[in-house]
């Protein structure tokens, strides 16, 4: 058995042991054990996490609360930690949600909110965080309660560790709300702007909290185009995303520590990287580029790709997908992609010995976009001269790297790929060349 397997077995056994001890522990002892369980959850990988949180465990938790063996407050505390790690580990179709986050939790949130006297603000916050982070389906009435409640927590300015953690959990829960839920700007915009601007000046948020605030905003602009000016010009999305990605790239470059010393931290850092890449991809996909300045974060994505390629395959693939999406935006200039090294990155990627189908699709789609765009002539003499010069440089790079050989090799594979995934690609190899 490998060291990794032993560690994974140790994590699941430790969690199961602590959970079983809840049945004969006092209320205070339960809270201590739940905090220990939280630490163990942080060390679990996705497979371990899913293997522990089964329907059997969910049913047992429900029985324990019904029989007053586990107080509802402690059950909520445990579920709050579970939801936090569920989001960070990018886990979906979570069975715990079916048991606890049904009508029962919705009723508790509404009842607590509607209390005239004796409202338990802390309980309401915990309920909202559990509900948003664990539930696969949320409802507008709950949003109208949870969003103001959690933003009130997120606007706290204290910089001690406990306060920062509370703010982080509140913003992380908010960031989960699906982009397709319409939310009135009156519920969040002024507060989110204040949170982001204050952090830009005072650096009071954790990385996860700051990324979560941005993620909530970027999800909203997909159906609220009026927010684009706020995001780009007022809150400086290009500058902030570039700065965050550059710092995270330095983290990847320093990846030489022992696995056991950084495992929990790595889960968080990888989650934050994925969050910024998700936001950039969404922005390039849905919006016209307002400024050349948006090349700044894309340049950082190229640097991130090279840093992650050896040890973080999933991240490097995400970077490729982001750059491919940016190349498809009609306002993205090909000479800009050439300038920041995006074309070099794709030429490097297609030389990798093993590539999955989606990455091959992204590579071919990228070069098809580049090829088609460089064939588009213009009446503007300066732009036309720039197009021809860019075309010449791109072609020289492709010839130097043996681009044609790679495309022919991939062309043979296309017949075996899923046609639904590759419907956008031409099967004519010559379409993937920049013809002067």
Max intra-chain CA distance, the chain: 82
Distance from C-alpha of 209 to C-alpha of 213, rounded to nearest angstrom: 6
In this predicted structure, what is the pLDDT of residue 240? 95
Residue 405: domain span: 364-436
DSSP-derived letter for residue 234 is I
Residue 335 has pLDDT above 70, yes or no: yes
Is residue 429 situated within a structural domain? yes
Q: Which of 83, 80, 50, 78 is nearest to 64 (CA)?
A: 78
pLDDT tens digits, 32-56: 999 999 999 999 988 899 889 888 8
Q: Which of 410, 436, 425 is nearest to 350 (CA)?
A: 410
Q: What residue has token string 């990018």?
A: 90
Q: What is the rounded CA–CA span in Å between residue 277 and residue 274?
A: 5
Residue 345 phi/psi, 5-degree rounding, is -60, -40
pTM: 0.89
In this predicted structure, what is the pLDDT of residue 402? 80
10 Å CB burial of residue 431 (0-12, 13-18, 19+) is middle
Q: Has residue 423 got a pLDDT over 80?
A: no
- Sign of the C-alpha dihedral, residues 53, 59, 60, 62? positive
Nearest C-alpha neighbor of 188 from the set 205, 201, 170: 170
Residue 147: closest CA among 123, 166, 170:
170
Token pair for 196: 């982001």
Determine, yes or no, domain membership for 423.
Answer: yes
What pLDDT sits at residue 57? 86
In a domain? residue 392: yes
Q: How many domains does the chain have?
A: 1
Residue 422 lies in a domain: yes
- Between 35-49, 71-85, 184-198, 375-389, the lowest mean confidence (pLDDT) is in 375-389
Burial of 292 (0-12, 13-18, 19+ CB in 10 A): exposed
**Distance from C-alpha of 132 to C-alpha of 128, rounded to nearest angstrom:** 6
pLDDT of residue 401: 81
User: Greater confidence, 424 or 62?
Assistant: 62
pLDDT score, position 427: 59
Residue 195 forms part of a structural domain = no
202: in domain? no
406 domain-assigned: yes
Classify residue 375 by its DSSP letter.
T
Is 77 part of a structural domain of the chain?
Answer: no
Give the model's pLDDT for residue 272: 92
């Amino acid at each position: 058995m490998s060291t990794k397997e032993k560690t994974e077995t140790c994590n699941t056994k430790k969690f199961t042991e602590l959970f079983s001890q809840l049945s004969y522990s006092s209320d205070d002892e339960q809270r201590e054990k739940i905090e220990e369980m939280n630490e163990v959850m942080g060390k679990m990988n996705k497979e371990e996490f899913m293997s522990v949180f089964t329907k059997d465990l969910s049913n047992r938790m429900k029985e324990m609360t019904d029989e007053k063996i586990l107080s509802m407050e402690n059950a909520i505390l445990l579920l709050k930690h579970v939801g936090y790690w569920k989001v960070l580990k990018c886990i979906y179709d979570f069975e715990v949600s079916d048991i606890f986050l049904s009508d029962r939790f919705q009723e508790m949130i509404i009842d607590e909110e509607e209390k005239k006297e004796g409202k338990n603000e802390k309980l309401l916050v915990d309920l909202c965080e559990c509900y948003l982070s664990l539930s696969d389906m949320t409802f507008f009435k709950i949003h109208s309660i949870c969003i103001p409640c959690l933003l009130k927590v997120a606007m706290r300015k204290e910089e001690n560790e406990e306060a920062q953690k509370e703010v982080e959990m509140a913003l992380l829960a908010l960031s989960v709300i699906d982009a397709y839920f319409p939310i009135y700007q009156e519920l969040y915009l002024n507060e989110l702007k204040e949170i982001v601007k204050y952090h830009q000046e005072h650096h009071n948020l954790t990385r996860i909290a700051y990324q979560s605030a941005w993620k909530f905003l970027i999800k909203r602009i997909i159906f609220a185009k009026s927010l684009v000016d706020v995001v780009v010009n007022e809150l400086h999305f290009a500058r902030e995303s570039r700065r965050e990605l550059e710092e995270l790239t330095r983290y990847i470059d320093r990846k030489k520590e022992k696995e056991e010393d950084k495992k929990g931290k790595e889960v968080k850092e990888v989650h934050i990287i994925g969050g910024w890449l998700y936001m950039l991809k969404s922005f390039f996909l849905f919006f016209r580029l307002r400024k050349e300045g948006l090349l700044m974060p894309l340049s950082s994505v190229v640097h991130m790709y090279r840093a992650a390629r050896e040890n973080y395959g999933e991240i490097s693939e995400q970077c490729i997908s982001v750059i491919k999406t940016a190349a498809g935006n009609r306002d993205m200039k090909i000479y800009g992609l050439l300038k920041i090294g995006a074309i070099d990155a794709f030429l490097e990627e297609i030389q990798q010995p093993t590539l999955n189908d989606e990455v091959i699709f992204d590579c071919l789609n990228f070069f098809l976009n580049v090829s088609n765009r460089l064939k588009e002539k213009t009446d503007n003499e300066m732009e036309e001269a720039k197009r021809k010069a860019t075309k010449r440089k791109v072609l020289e790079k492709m010839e130097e790297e043996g681009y044609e050989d790679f495309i022919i090799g991939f062309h043979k594979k296309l017949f075996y790929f899923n046609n639904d995934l590759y419907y956008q690609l031409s099967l004519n190899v010559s379409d993937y060349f920049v013809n002067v």
